């Protein structure tokens, strides 16, 4: 009898350990677990919505983790969980997430069936950013609510799709100028320059956003950070800094583009530094987003972006 109890205890410990392990692990000998692979708070950052386009599409899978394929169909349901949002905000107070409003998203189905012998199904979520205030933060927690076979994973059971608000987030106009020399004394390249284009300041954090340059189809992406002091209409902004995102520099290198001078703020008709000190109102701060950099392909290029 003691041996039987000891074996059962080991099985319970094994079940607990596997549920805390990586998704798609080996579930031989412990039954059937239904999960959302690569989900939960441990993969929170993967569910961040940082795309620049208005319509964002995400797909996630429903997986049956079992030693062998099941001989019966598995029905499941998913749900948008306000309780998960409340719990997250209670434990994480740095950013106050709001529920995504009606009309800002669609889910192609809230239930499904994984046929006998199969293991996977998928769900598509579409988010429409035009319905969201870019200065506010939103969350869409989607959880696995029920299953007709096995048990639900305790750790890999929800996607926390979230959008981080930023005071400067939103759509701006963009002017871009390219000169075929290392300064503005060279020939102005009218074919690749433009005025009054459209650019989106995509929030990364409440005090950081990205926006593509007009150069080379936006392969280089500015990363702008700042400090916010106070709230509401009396808030001030300082410590602005600009750089290119490392991923965009890598992409530019792959396209044969070398950044020969990192981006700086273009102030009072001339290039300055990569940082701006001083304190600004919101209206004053929006006048600062004028950048200059240099790049080299087959020749040097002098490049200016202005956002307004």
pLDDT averaged over consecutive 10-residue blocks of the chain (308 residues)?
37 39 53 97 93 91 97 98 98 94 97 98 96 93 98 97 93 94 66 90 91 96 97 93 97 96 95 96 96 92 96
The DSSP code sequence of 45-58 is GGGB---SSSEEEE
Give me the pLDDT at residue 10, please: 35
Distances in whole angstroms, Cα of residue 199 to Cα of each of 176, 220, 275, 288 = 11, 13, 22, 15
Looking at the structure, tell me whether residues 251 and 213 fall in a common domain: yes
Burial of 131 (0-12, 13-18, 19+ CB in 10 A): middle
Q: How far apart are CA 66 and CA 25, in angstroms?
A: 9
Distances in whole angstroms, Cα of residue 121 to Cα of each of 37, 80, 112, 280 = 11, 18, 8, 51
> Which of 146, 163, 180 corresponds to the end of one domain?
163
Looking at the structure, tell me whether residues 134 and 179 fall in a common domain: no
Give me the pLDDT at residue 185, please: 62
Looking at the structure, tell me whether residues 84 and 184 fall in a common domain: no
Q: How far apart are CA 21 and CA 38, in angstroms?
A: 11
Give me the pLDDT at residue 187, please: 60
Max CA distance (Å), the chain: 91
Give me the pLDDT at residue 232, please: 83
Looking at the structure, tell me whether residues 191 and 83 fall in a common domain: no
Give me the pLDDT at residue 298, please: 84
Q: How far apart are CA 255 and CA 257, in angstroms?
A: 6
Give me the pLDDT at residue 166, please: 94
Give me the pLDDT at residue 70, please: 97
> Which of 130, 163, 196 corresponds to the end of one domain?
163
Helix and strand counts by DSSP (H, E) for the chain: 4, 20
Residue 13 is assigned to a structural domain of this protein: no
Domain extent at residue 82? 24-163
Nearest to 214 by CA among 291, 134, 297, 266: 291
Number of domains the chain is built from? 2
Looking at the structure, tell me whether residues 146 and 230 fall in a common domain: no
Q: How far apart are CA 231 and CA 253, in angstroms?
A: 40
Q: What SS3 state is found at 30?
A: coil
Give me the pLDDT at residue 245, please: 97
> Which of 128, 163, 198 corresponds to the end of one domain?
163
Give me the pLDDT at residue 50, please: 84
Looking at the structure, tell me whether residues 176 and 153 fall in a common domain: no
Looking at the structure, tell me whether residues 246 and 121 fall in a common domain: no
Give the number of residues written for the chain: 308
Give me the pLDDT at residue 52, please: 75
């Amino acid at each position: 009898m003691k041996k039987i109890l000891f074996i059962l205890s080991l099985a319970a410990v094994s079940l607990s350990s596997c549920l805390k392990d990586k998704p798609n692990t080996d579930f031989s000998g412990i039954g059937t677990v239904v999960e959302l692979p690569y989900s939960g708070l441990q993969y929170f950052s993967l569910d961040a919505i940082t795309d620049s386009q208005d319509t964002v599409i995400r797909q996630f899978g429903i997986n049956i983790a079992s030693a062998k394929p099941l001989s019966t169909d598995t029905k499941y349901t998913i749900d948008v969980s306000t309780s998960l949002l409340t719990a997250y905000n209670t434990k994480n107070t740095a950013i106050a997430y709001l529920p995504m409003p009606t009309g800002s998203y669609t889910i192609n189905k809230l239930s499904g069936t994984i046929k006998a012998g199969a293991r996977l199904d998928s769900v598509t979520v579409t988010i429409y950013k035009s319905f969201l205030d870019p200065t506010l933060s939103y969350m869409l927690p989607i959880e696995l609510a029920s299953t007709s076979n096995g048990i639900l994973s305790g750790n890999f059971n929800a996607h926390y799709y979230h959008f981080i608000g930023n005071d400067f987030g939103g759509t701006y106009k963009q002017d871009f100028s390219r000169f075929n020399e290392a300064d503005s004394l060279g020939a102005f390249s009218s074919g690749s320059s433009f005025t009054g284009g459209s650019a989106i300041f995509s929030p990364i954090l409440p005090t950081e956003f990205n926006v593509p340059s007009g150069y080379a189809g936006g392969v280089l992406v500015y990363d702008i950070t700042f400090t916010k002091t106070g709230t509401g209409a009396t808030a001030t902004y300082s410590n602005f800094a600009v750089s290119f995102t490392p991923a965009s520099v890598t992409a530019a290198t792959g396209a044969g583009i070398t950044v020969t001078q990192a981006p700086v703020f273009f102030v009072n008709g001339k290039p300055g530094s990569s940082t701006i000190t001083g304190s600004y109102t919101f209206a004053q701060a929006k006048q600062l987003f004028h950048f200059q950099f240099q790049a080299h392909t087959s020749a040097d290029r002098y490049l200016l972006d202005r956002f307004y």
